[in-house]
Structures are given as structure tokens and as C-alpha cells.
């Protein structure tokens, strides 16, 4: 599945579209697991479920609800063919043996009509600068992801620069989501996907997903894979994080 052209695109641009990762039967199975997780674990009190775009004490419905480590509630996800494919892809692109990769899952839901945007950010902006890990995210959509429903946009080559300055959404540190203003949105490239298709990006690739203005839910299932951890001798400051 992973040819040299795709490897080169990932290396040069920081992201690359993948062939369809799941067939119709597995797609329906993933949707069933996904919907059950959000139905049974949509509770802010657990800490595993949260709205990344708003304060957790907000009175309104969650605009960008997420579940981190859904495999904790549905371990069958790790036994799936989809997981095995994604791990093999990560091993190839990171040049790290599969058994040396750490991982976690991430389920992101954009409700129809009011699902919030995911502002420009780098995944590495959320990471403690005292430690470095080469890693990537495999972002699989369980529904058609269009510009109107909130597909991903990337800044080609943006991963080759530093971690950009970030701040909390609305400048409110009670909101978990981060945003960087050091990106020209006009330079972004949209990556629409059909249901079951995926895109892979490095942890430093600047990316964005628009709001969901359609009548269809946009469900994304993300697998993050990382190589061995390395201590950073002189970590850069990331004042938006509490790393004391």
C-alpha cells in the first residue's frame, strides 16, 4: 500500500493521502463501535470525554466532542484489521519496528450543523517540550469528509519548521483546544475524503478542520503512533502548557 511516491509526499509535505483503509463491512463495524462509545461514555466527569472547543461547564451541547483512548473502553479496536494496517503504515513511514511503537486512539465527532471548527494547530504543540518523540497520526473518516463537513486542511512543508506559538481557544486556558495564529490559512490545502479513506500526518504538521455545516455527522477515528522517547537537553519554552 505504501509506495515510494507516498513516502516522499509524507516526508516533503508532512502529510499524505492513503488508499482506502477499510472495506464496507469493517466500516460499518467501526461505526457501530464508535457510536456506542459516544452513547455510553459521553460524560465530562470521566476525563476521557471532553469538548475540545469549549469549557466543560458550558451549558450548550458539545460542539467538538472527543474521546481519548477509546480502546480502553473497546479493546476490540486494537485487534481489528484496521489497527494492524495503520500500525504497519506507521512503522514504514517512521522507520520504526512495529513492536517499538507506542500508540493511542482518538475519536473526534463533529455534530451536524453546529460542529465547531478545529483551529489551526500542530499536534506537537500539545506535547511536553522536555521530551521528543517522532510520531504521526492516521486520520480515518467514517463518513464522507468534505470542505463543508469539516475535512482536514494542511500547510505543505509546515512540519519542517519549528513548533509554532500556540494559545488556548478564546484565550481561555479552561478550554483544552489550542490554536496558532502563525499560519496563513490561504496557503492551506484541503484533503476531502470518502468514507473509509484516510490521511496521515506528522505530529508537527500544521492542520485545520472546518466546522460541519452539513446535515450529516462527521466521525473521525484517529490512531497516533510514536517511536521511542528522547529527553531534550535544552527544551524550548511552550508557555501555553503547564509543564512545571
The model's pLDDT over 3-48, given as tens digits with 9 standing for 90+, comes to 899 999 999 999 999 989 999 999 999 999 999 999 998 787 778 8
pLDDT tens digit sequence for 109-132: 999 999 999 999 999 999 999 999
Cα-based distances in Å from 35 to 40, 68, 84: 9, 14, 21
Which class in CATH covers the domain with range 2-43+62-239? mainly beta
Confidence band for 188, pLDDT divided at 50, 70 and 90: very high
Q: Check residue 43 and give its pLDDT.
A: 80
H-helix or E-strand containing 220? strand 218-226
Residues 9/18, Cβ–Cβ less than 8 Å: no
Amino acid at each position: 500500500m505504501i509506495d515510494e511516491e507516498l513516502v516522499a509526499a509524507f516526508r516533503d509535505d508532512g502529510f499524505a493521502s492513503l488508499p482506502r483503509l477499510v472495506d464496507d463491512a469493517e466500516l460499518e463495524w467501526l461505526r457501530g463501535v464508535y457510536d456506542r462509545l459516544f452513547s455510553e461514555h459521553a460524560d465530562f466527569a470521566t476525563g476521557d470525554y471532553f469538548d475540545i472547543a469549549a469549557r466543560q461547564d458550558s451549558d450548550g451541547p458539545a460542539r467538538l466532542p472527543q474521546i481519548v483512548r477509546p480502546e480502553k473502553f473497546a479493546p476490540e479496536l486494537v485487534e481489528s484489521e484496521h489497527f494492524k494496517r495503520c500500525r504497519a503504515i506507521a512503522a514504514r513511514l517512521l522507520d520504526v519496528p512495529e513492536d517499538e511503537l507506542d500508540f493511542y486512539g482518538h475519536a473526534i465527532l463533529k455534530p451536524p450543523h453546529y460542529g465547531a471548527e478545529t483551529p489551526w494547530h500542530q499536534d506537537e504543540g500539545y506535547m511536553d517540550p522536555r521530551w521528543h518523540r517522532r510520531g504521526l497520526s492516521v486520520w480515518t473518516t467514517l463518513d464522507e469528509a468534505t470542505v463543508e463537513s469539516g475535512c482536514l486542511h494542511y500547510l505543505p512543508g509546515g512540519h519542517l519548521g519549528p513548533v509554532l506559538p500556540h494559545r488556548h481557544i478564546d484565550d481561555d486556558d479552561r478550554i483544552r483546544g489550542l490554536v496558532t495564529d502563525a499560519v496563513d490559512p490561504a496557503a492551506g490545502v484541503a484533503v476531502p475524503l470518502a468514507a473509509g479513506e484516510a490521511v496521515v500526518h506528522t505530529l508537527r504538521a500544521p492542520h485545520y478542520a472546518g466546522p460541519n455545516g452539513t446535515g450529516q455527522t462527521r466521525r473521525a477515528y484517529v490512531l497516533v503512533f510514536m517511536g521511542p522517547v528522547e529527553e531534550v537537553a535544552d527544551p524550548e519554552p511552550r508557555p501555553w502548557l503547564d509543564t512545571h
